[in-house]
Structure 1
Amino acid sequence: MNSEEYFAWRNHFLVLLDRIPVPIAVCTAQGEVTVANPAMAAEWGTVPGRVRGRNLLDLFRPSRNATAQLGRLAEALRLGRRSRYTIEVRWPAGTRGAEREGELLVDPVGDASLAYPMLLAVLRVRAEVPAAGPVAEVSEVEGRILALAATGATTAAIGKAVGLTVDGVNYHLSRLTRRWRVPNRTALVAKAYVLGVLAPGQWPPVFAGDQRSRGG
């Protein structure tokens, strides 16, 4: 495969990854994230570029039961074995103060001749542990998207402003639409004001979380 074919293949892969609603990351054998899709970044209330370079074990806290599986995964990588390993994990749910729990399904992928293959990590969310705090609170990225949507900005313009693809923006908007049970973007913006997510009486629209973080 020449360099032109490689970059074309890589771009197609990244576009496909952006469209998948399941949280997915590609990592080195040491756990460093090289690619994350918007669904994975959304679990941290951020964008894919800010997850890149971080280690999975810094992002997710393995459960006590996961210690043995991590040991098996490390041994499998050392011996060149290719099997799926399930790691039970917990992590904070963005800025909402709650915790989520689930499983990382980790598969070694890539050329079998490589001494240390890449890892494909798929997050399967099991449940959310409720915590005190307003249920309407959203992540910083979601708040910025809502504020821009309230100005009438196009999906492409919103994506450029927050560092997401069009598919990434649509993912967040669809997620909020389902969460708040509203039929369209207009109703979504209206509910954001009702729930106090967007600051009232301000133009251009402002994410209320930005004001709280500044003590406003």
Structure 2
Amino acid sequence: MVTKSLTASSTAGVTAGAGANRRRTYTAHASTHDMTITAAESDFAARFGLSPGQICGRALSDLLQAGPPTRLRDRVAELSEGRAGWFTERVTGRHAGGRAFAADLTAIAVTGAAGTAGLVLLLHPLGEVDVPRPRELTLSALDARMLEGVAVGASTVQLAARLYLSRQGVEYRVGLLLRRFDAPNRPALVARAHALGLFAPGQWPPQVLPDLVE
């Protein structure tokens, strides 16, 4: 059984932050190992257009962005390594329907006998925001379908059959995407697409956001 343990100083800091903000708090739990959601209340999941069952297993970095793509990962690493007990970051989340919202995210380390065992996440929504998409991130309909296929692990032959292209045509289009997003291989291309927020959060199979498709 996991035992929740906070230092007196970190508890005081989190309490002070929560007291200053009387908005509704949505709660979830996450793993420090791979930053995936392990449990969530229904209202937390609903902020992303998902059910509690659908959001479990989703990567926190795919659901929320905080400045540079590595920002949340670095802050979680501080908790995992015991260098901090909690943190609060201003983040941007995206509903499965494409709407974006701003929020304050507080992550609190949960410790057990073996050290940090997980995170408690407190999400304080601030309201919807307009997040303009850079023109260079828009994709043609064909490239969007190609990227979605690569993201589910479809082979060149499967992509060719699905998109009515030759195998050489698939390799050419994938090659263009690799160069465009400076990715050395297909897994790196998918990781880069997630980091740039090209996919709707919590969707399987992955779907490129409609407002990014020309």
Please indicate the TM-score interval, normalised by the length of the shorter structure: 0.3 to 0.5
Q: TM-score, normalised by structure 1?
A: 0.44
**Larger helix proportion of the pair:** 1
Bigger RCO (CA 8 Å, 6+ sep): 2
